[in-house]
Amino acid sequence: MAAMRSNPEKTDRFAYLDALGIDVWRLRGNDEPLEAPDTEQATGSHASWSDIRAEVSNCQKCALHQTRTQTVFGVGSETADWMIIGEAPGAEEDRRGEPFVGRAGKLLDEMLRAVGLDRQTVFIANVLKCRPPGNRDPLADESSQCRAYLDRQIELLKPKLILAVGRIAAQLLLGTDAPLGRLRGRQHKIGPAEIPVVITYHPAYLLRSPAQKRKVWEDLCLARSIVQQASSSRS
């Protein structure tokens, strides 16, 4: 095993892995941080993002607008290589208007930092832009009405990779009822652009089942390798 060179960024990353409860064998050449997103690959004008933000903010297509505090559009870089997609806002997300906050959000942040990323270098969104009452599963009508917004976000962003977290997000994104265990561990592709999709467990699930963190690390490594390969092919 190669000795770890003195590098503050790497030291921080292994600290994050320790926070995840993961012991990592570090092979030479496999622990380099991802390249920063290419700021020249912006895929939509500022007005285009502004337009869809305004549409989401004023949306009344389904009954969820009657119970929401506010919509949750998404956060992060509009030129990101990675897009993280979850299911729907929870109570804290509904209150703050930002996806993945609270304990699950902090764990997601640790997951991202473990592969050299953070909220500013990815784009994080949900399939639903409004919170279902009681955090229930999305209804078919709610998912279908909101899917157009997600598709437009994907079209604007043109990410090199989508990381879908949680069973419902994965099933809605891929149009399948297969269990998450059968969907993770391999690459999927969606849309005319055949954007790579990797499936993994939701951070909230990991808080209840920490033994699954090793599988999430494997999924993150797969996702990172896909992005690195895409970056190399475009350089």
Helix axes 140-157, 46-57, angle to 10 degrees: 170
Residue 31, token pair as written in the block: 């622990």
- Amino acid in the structure at residue 206: L
pLDDT digits (tens, 9 = 90+) for 153-185: 999 999 999 999 999 999 999 999 999 999 999
**In the structure encoding, which two tokens stand for residue 157, read together?**
């962003």
Q: pTM score, two decimals? A: 0.81
Q: Is 76 exposed, middle or buried (0-12, 13-18, 19+ CB in 10 A)?
A: buried
Q: Please report whether residue 116 resides in a domain.
A: yes
How many angstroms separate the CA atoms of 78 and 103, rounded?
25
Q: Does 22 fall in a domain?
A: no
Number of domains in the chain: 1
8 inside domain: no
Taking a C-beta distance cutoff of 8 angstroms, is the pair 185, 219 a contact?
A: yes
- How do residues 3-52 score in pLDDT, each as one tens digit? 444 455 555 555 555 656 655 544 334 444 434 333 333 333 444 899 99
Domain assignment present for residue 40? The answer is no
Look at the block and give the residue holding tokens 């879908």: 164
Task: Look at residue 219 in the predicted model and tell me its pLDDT.
Answer: 98
CATH of the domain at 170: 3.40.470.10
pLDDT for 20 equals 60
Quick one: pLDDT at residue 185? 95
50 located within any domain:
yes
Integer Cα distance of 170 and 165 in angstroms: 7
Residue 202 is part of which domain span? Answer: 45-234
37 within some domain: no
pLDDT tens-digit map of 102-155? 899 999 999 999 999 999 999 999 999 999 999 899 999 999 999 999 999 999
Judged by DSSP in three states, 233 sits in: helix
Is 5 part of any domain? no
